[in-house]
Amino acid sequence: MESIDVIISIIGIRISSKPPDEIHPFGHSRFEPLVAFLIGVALLIVAYEIGRDAVFRILHKSTIGVNSILSILSKEAMARYSIYVGKKLNS
């Protein structure tokens, strides 16, 4: 799921940064909120899955593995980088 967010973000940034043309005289910047909405929906799905998995693990008294911890750390790094790039682009 995390690679889908990155792909959607890259496509959204490329499209929204295009200059105005004959069909879009005000540019493509309005595409950015649509991309943000799609990423938000994807994050809601991920949050639901994480919550569902957490409840399952609590009820069945299981522990998380190393892969889960690495996934959490990589997601945090990606989020911090996205915030950095967003601030740099004033987005």
Q: CA torsion angle for 12, 17, 18, 22 (degrees, to 10)? A: 100
| Cα–Cα–Cα angle for 2, 13, 25, rounded to 5 degrees | 150
Parse the chain into domains and list their residue ranges.
2-88
pLDDT value at 1 more than 70? no
- pTM score above 0.75: no
pLDDT the model gives residue 52? 93
pLDDT digits (tens, 9 = 90+) for 18-32: 888 788 777 777 777
